[in-house]
Chain A
Amino acid sequence: MGISGACRDLTILSVTPAGPVGAQFGCYYLEMDNPGLDPAVAGQFVMVRPAAFGSDPVWPRPFSICRLTPDRLTLFIQACGRGTDILCRLAPGDPVTVWGPLGQGFALEPAVPTVMLAGGVGIAPFMEYAATHPAPGNLSLVFGHRQPLSCYPFAELSQLVRAEAFEEKTPDDLPRFISRLEKTVAEFAGGLILACGPRPLLLTVARLARRYGARAQVSLENRMACGVGGCLGCVEKNALGQYVQTCTEGPVFWVDELSLSEDA
């Protein structure tokens, strides 16, 4: 695991809205050819820079690997800013530079009951996790979302693992979702808990894992410039109060390695 390979010039094969209303909610699958990326551990990420970026935006964009097979790299992307807007408007044949897989992925303990806690676009790495898990019968998914369920790869995941979705429509739904998370964390306290999604979700999972003595990992989405350990921009404070790089030492961390806070 870790840094591998050089920058690869890939070609966009397809940009497909996720489900019938995916385009309306900005949810897309990007498929690229795979000219020899190293195999990934689920939870690792790639840096993506389409030629269309030019000098602006300056930064490439990091994405968890949604699926990597010998001939395809698939990303699940929500258009929510300058970089992702450009990416979701790419067309087949457009050139993209990709480097990775990068960072540290999720722990894999096939015999241990494992629950994936996903929020929104944070569902992406769990496609790879479920698809490569040797004993998917030991896997469950609890998925919180705001856009219509068809905008996410939830149906595909439901075919692989036990899956439950929770839609957040009003502010009142949030405490109900948190209670649902608490029940799940308590249930899997002797197993393995993996979380990916917005920072508030990760903070909640970390807090609940501490309360129930559960083993849990979170995938951070800290802003990155380089993705390879060069800039020290994406750091997170560890349990010793030192800053560690999300790109090389994460993005997946055990919650007890970190002292997670509201900022960043």
Chain B
Amino acid sequence: MSADTAVRLPGMRAKNPVMTASGTFGYGMEFAPYGDLRRLGGIVVKGLSLKPRTGNAMPRIAETPCGMLNAIGLQNCGVEAFLRDKLPRLPFKDTPIIANLYACDADEFAELAGVLAAEEGVAALEVNISCPNVKAGGIAFGQDPAMAGKLTEAVKKRAGNKPVWVKLSPNVTDIVGIARAAVLGGADVLTCINTLTGMAVDIRSRKPRLANVIGGLSGPAIKPVALRCVWQVCQAVSAPVIGVGGVSSAEDVLEFILVGAHAVQIGTANFMRPDMAFRIAERLPQLMDELGIKDLDEYRGTLLAG
């Protein structure tokens, strides 16, 4: 008898907790040759803005020990092209497709939310108040509780019946304060965490390894930080939390569930090999069987901490 991997989230049911993180899985179809997209618990697509964005100059990525830095700068095709060319090709009837939203102010966020809320194929809206790689908005929104609350509220008002997820930044003194503000603003789900700001430099050329100088650190290197953030946020708020940061195995998935997460997103590990999310989703029920875990609700948040 196989373990039950299903996860209930506000407004949706996922067949398993293995989702993909925004910015690491393209618009979804790029990874279709490597696995059946319907096997995933959810697909969070590349961050979308109202108008197409060019993104940052090259170089945009640098490898670091057990991780990487990126400063892509939210290059994207714009919401209109996404809805016209990308979304219809995704298996949205079988797997929740979550749109990730980026905008420069509350009005723009609200407008974008309104456009996406009208789409049957969009299961939820993930609000990016934590991108470290753009000049306007981004991380600044996620560092101030009042601003985080205000933006969440603006999106929620226009989101109709779509659940609103808010993606939090770890680059704050107190992530719990931001989490509480987002929930007060109407967030249905919190996604923890976006990348950690970081740098890499070349001592010979004396140049930064990213044209943007500063970028976001991701990959297995940040998993302990992500676990800590998810643990703290789960202790403080009742909204479901989705853990992101260095997940690259079924064991990692259970670590995040153990500290209280409802689900996880696979990010940089999709770059390690493009079938990674599919492999983790396939492996998870076997691992649960091995550990005698019948379903995730029973296991969630059962960390034996003093």
Contact = CB atoms under 8 A, between A and B. Distances in A.
B58 A235 contact: yes
Interface stretch (B8-16, B67-75, B106-114, B294-302): B67-75
A223 interface: yes
A233 B67 contact: no
Interface stretch (A53-61, A147-155, A170-178): A53-61
Interface in A212-257: 222-223, 225-237, 241-243, 248
A225 B270 CA distance: 9
B220 A226 contact: no
A102 to B, nearest CB: 10
A48 to B, nearest CB: 10
B58 A222 contact: yes
Contact of A263 (B30, B59, B275): B59
Given A7-B275, A99-B273, A230 B31 contact: yes
Contacts, number: 110
A4 B67 CA distance: 27
A59 B67 CA distance: 9
A264 B63 CA distance: 14
Given A59-B68, A222-B58, A243-B54, A3 B33 contact: yes
A248 to B, nearest CB: 8
B262 interface: no
A263 B58 CA distance: 7
B61 A231 contact: yes
B28 to A, nearest CB: 10
B272 A59 contact: yes
A243 B75 contact: yes
A145 B25 CA distance: 38
A223 B275 contact: no
Interface size class of A (residues with CB under 8 A): 35 or more
A60 B268 CA distance: 12
A49 interface: yes
Interface in B48-87: 54-55, 57-63, 65-68, 70, 72, 75
Contacts of B55: 232, 235, 243
Nearest to B211: A263
A242 B49 CA distance: 17
A97 interface: yes
Contact of B30 (A49, A228, A242): A228
A5 interface: yes
A174 to B, nearest CB: 19
A231 B72 contact: yes
A59 B211 contact: no
Contacts of A241: 54
Given A7-B273, A59-B68, A230 B58 contact: no
A223 B272 contact: no
Nearest to B74: A232
Contacts of A7: 34, 273-275
A242 B55 CA distance: 9
Given A7-B274, A59-B271, A99-B273, A225 B59 contact: no
A232 B63 contact: no
A61 B262 CA distance: 34
Contact of A59 (B26, B63, B72, B248): B63
Interface in A1-50: 3-7, 49
Interface of A: 3-7, 49, 53, 55-60, 82, 97, 99, 222-223, 225-237, 241-243, 248, 263-264
Interface of B: 23-26, 30-31, 33-35, 46, 54-55, 57-63, 65-68, 70, 72, 75, 211, 219-220, 248, 268, 270-275
Cβ-closest 9 pairs across A and B: A233-B61, A264-B58, A229-B30, A226-B271, A225-B271, A230-B26, A55-B220, A56-B66, A7-B275
19 contacts: A7-B274, A53-B272, A55-B66, A55-B220, A56-B66, A58-B219, A58-B271, A60-B271, A223-B62, A229-B30, A230-B24, A230-B274, A232-B60, A232-B72, A232-B75, A235-B60, A237-B58, A243-B54, A263-B58
